[in-house]
Every structure is written in C-alpha cells, then in structure tokens.
Chain A
Amino acid sequence: MSGAETRWLITGARLLGGEPADLLLNGQLIAEVAEPGQTEAGAGAGSGSGFLVLEADGLIALPGLVDLHTHLREPGREDAETVASGTAAAAMGGYTVVHAMANTDPVADTAGVVEQVWRLGQAAGRCDVQPVGAVTANLGGTQLAELGAMADSAAAVRVFSDDGRCVADATLMRRALEYVKAFDGVIAQHAQEPRLTEGAQLNEGEISARLGLSGWPAVAEEAIVARDCLLAAHVGSALHVCHVSTAGSVEIIRWAKSKGWRVSAEVTPHHLLLTDELADGYDPVYKVNPPLRTAADVAALREALADGTIDCVATDHAPHPVEDKDTEWSIAAFGMTGLETALRVVHEAMVSTGLLDWPGVADRMSVRPAAIGRLDASERAELRHGRPLAAGSPANLVLYDPAAAGVVDPASHVSRSKNSPFSGMKLPGRVVATFLRGEPTVLDGRLAR
C-alpha cells in the first residue's frame, strides 16, 4: 500500500451536510479543512499546481463508512463474491473498511485464514478488510477457537463472531466473553435460539401463518440478547449484538445500556425499511436471517438508531449466486446484498423521515462502528477509521449527492451477486466519490482504476 502521491483539493463539499468547505488531501491524510477558497492551495487552484481538483458543490462529505458486518465469501464461495469484488462493492457504497465475517470455507478460526483474508484485502486495495475471527472452532459451537492467535496475527482481530450461527451454549458464550478481555476484544453474537428456530423460514406472525412458512419467533432473538447482556455484565466484558431485528431486542438493549453495561448493537439497512409482508409472493430475494419483521419492529429500530440505543448500521451484505435464490422459498439461501445501497437506504429510512441528520449518519455509519471495531485507535495514525473530517485525520471520506435519485438496478452493481431486495425501488442519493487514505477508489460514481 503506497502513500498517495497526488494531492487532492475537494471544493465546496458540505461537511456532514452542513456548510460548504474545501478539503485539501495531502498523501494519506487530510492536510487542511477551510472555508471555500481559503485553503493554502485555494488561490492558485488548477492542475498545474500539483493537485487535482474535485468540485463537490452540493455534495455531502462524510467520513469513510465503516461496516462491522460483511460477508466476502472468500475463501470457499468465490462464485458468490470474492474479496476483490466485495471490496469494490464496498467502495461503491462509500465504505473504506469492512469487517469480513468468519463463516467462509474454511472457516476463519485460525491466524492463517484471517491473515489470508487480510492480505487479499490489501492486494485489492479498494477498501480495508478487517477480518472477524470465529468464536468457536469451525463454528461448531462446542470449543473456543484460537482467539488469542487471531488477535496477535497480522490481521489483529478484535471482533469475534460465529455469525450465521448462534453461540447458543451459555457456558461457551460466557467463556468467550471472559477470554477476549485479555486483548480488548468483543464478541459479536448472532442471536438465534436454535431449538426455537428449527426449520424457520420467515418471521413468525400473521404472514407466516397465512403463507404456510415455518415461523422464526422474535423471542428466539430476544431470549439470547437478554442472556448475553447479563453474561457480559456479570463477567465485565463487551458484547456486540449483530443485526438487531425486533422491538423487544431494542427494549432489552436499552435496559442493559441504562445499567452501564458494555453492550453495543447494530441494525441492517433492510431491517430499517422492509417488512415481512414482502414475502407474500414467495420471492426468496426477501429471505434473510434474521427475517424481515413487522412495521412495529421497523419503527422501533428506527427510533433506536436515532436515539443511539442501536449504535450503528451494519450491512450484513450476504451475496448469493442466482441458483441459490431462484428456487422455492424453503430451499433458497438466506441473505441480501447491501453494501452498494446502504447509504441510500439509511437516507430514505432515517434522514428523509427526519429521524437522523447527516452528522448522525456519520456517527452511526463511521465513528461508532470504528470504535466498536477498535479501528479508531490503531497505532499507526493513517490506518485509523472513523476519525473526524479534520486536519490530521486519515483521508478516508465519501462524497454523496443527496439530490440524486434513481431506481435500484442490481444488474449495475459491481458485487458479483445481484440478490438485492431493493431491486426496482426508487431510492434517493448517489455515492459520487470515495477516498481511501487520500486515493480515490470511486470517482464520479464509478470505480476509479
């Protein structure tokens, strides 16, 4: 990874949706942030002066987005996605770092696999890849994986998750929570009581009863969330709850936080916008785990993201090849893509509804997830994420046009997989440019290089 040789001057961008400003990027860092025309480079702007100008009038500048939950599928399922294609998709969505979940094949439960994934990310160079380590060996749920080895590896793993599966055994979850205290790690739980959800296909409710699809009751998530919050408190460790999907989970997390316990939580873009009514035609593009729920759940999740009970948005980007989705519902794979539409969906669900402003978006989609992933305090300053748009911060940012709008067309996505539930929906906004440590990964809405 070389330092950017070029200097960039971004003019007229609305910082966090506020007043227009100029940003001067020099090497990997933001050199200067000033009122329009007032940077050191301002007066003599032009390509002859040794920097490139990007006119960003009307565009919103946000710190580079940080995803705590992505499935890059490599190694093992390169037919669905690779690190290269997944990070390209991330860049198109405005992301500068993604946490790659461990349920690959082989599972990322050793230093070897996490380092492989980490290196693939570096080689692709479009977005940093921070591997997530499995909690249990081979996701088997019976024995701890070598969490320490993964933490000490070049990948410096801090977030551990068996996502895809729940760490259901209470004792094992307790041990995991205790063990990671040694290196300031955090356990990210996919909360799903396995016995209550055997063969589950869709949220248990009116829709599932009518459609004859086996139900995934909210209580199967809430029971685990409650248990894990109490465990984390008991042993004094940090818990992160993946993809919160029910109003009940929100209430439990709110209560846990009120006690001062170290609980953080994420919500996916699709859970902020879509409900189980979409399953009506049995189109498996809407099949996901945890399932889409009711309008009441969506409302509670939005409120929670707005008031900070839910700390961040995480995409749970889950690419699948066509043949795993173009089937009967019950044998279709669970999961939806999300990297390329995340910011637009959050715009629609939270900003357009007045629940969150752009500084709030920056907080929930960059600052807080970076903090949870411990990426905001790396030893080397230029490797940090989630830092404010200010002089001295790494030049990780995204320029977003809030006035644009368009119909989502997965065929135009750069992800290898096209299973987006927003296909055909009109959404606001467009990512115009993404910068990773001063180098553009996306320019004018297209991949740079």
Chain B
Amino acid sequence: MAGTTPKPVLGADEIRRALSRIGHEILERTDGATEVVLLGIPTRGVPLARRLAARLSQTEGIEVPVGSLDITLYRDDLRLRPARTLGPTEVPESGIDGKVVILVDDVLYSGRTVRAALDALGDIGRPRAVQLAVLVDRGHRELPIRPDYVGKNLPTAKREEVRVHLTETDGQDCVLLQARQEVAG
C-alpha cells in the first residue's frame, strides 16, 4: 500500500502537560516521592524518566534517583528475530531494595515489555513496590498488567502503529498514529 501519512495524536504541549500531571500524581500517590526510584526502559523510556525526575526536582525540590533498565535479555520473543543490540542498564547507587520503583516507558501495548522488566528487577534486588508510568496506553493487553500513571489513553487497532518522538532521540516531541506498513518478503 502507498504509505499513509501519519496522524499526530499528541503535540509537544500535550506531552508537556501529560508529564506534568504524571509528576503530580506520583507525588500524591507516593507520599512525596521520598522512596521513589525512576527507571526508564530504553530507548525512549529513559528521556521520559529523566524529564519526570527534572520536573520533581524543579517543582518540589525533591531529588529522585533516576536510571535505566534494559530488558532485552529478558524478552520472551528473542527467538523471533536476530539477536538485538542491548541498551544500557544503570541502576542508581542507592539501589532498589525497599524502594518504590517506577518503571517508565513511552508506549504500553501487550504488556510483555513490563513483564520482562519485572523479571529483571527481581534479579537486581527487592523493591518495596513497583509502579508503572507510560506516556501512551494503546490497549490490547496480552498479560494482566495495568499502568499506574498514564499520559494518554489511545484506543488503536492492531494494524496501526504508535510512534513516539522525543526531542532527545528524534529532534521533536510528538506522538503519531499510522497504519502499519506492509513489509514485502
């Protein structure tokens, strides 16, 4: 099919407001975020986690430790494609034992990524609790996983693709929806 033009569903302002709201929700639900550790899931979960940490630092003066958690090695679909490059895993020095770990990702879809993240966390330490923050929830869960903080609920069809662009990785902030391209062969 000729490529259909992607449709923007979130612009830069909306993304900024969503993150702001999530930041406030985190403060409310974690009693001031004193024991919180933010771990972004590469690739785009990482800049999102950093932005949240920055917001909490600016608005509340609270320094929340931030890091990244690569889940490639824990995926359940490794054998379906050639071996993938690994992303960085950087756990803050204060560790995760006894903390409230908030996993941060750009899109929540089947839930398998989060499942892998939970397994990875289990091998790193024992958090007191694990919560999930996502910029977009596009539905179609395949596992019993639900987000604690959502930027936008976006009902989608399976044949659609959600593309998140962030300034840190793609030069601009927006979320696009487009029909999945047919790949020949």
A and B in contact, CB less than 8 Å: no
Residues of B within 8 A of A (CB): none
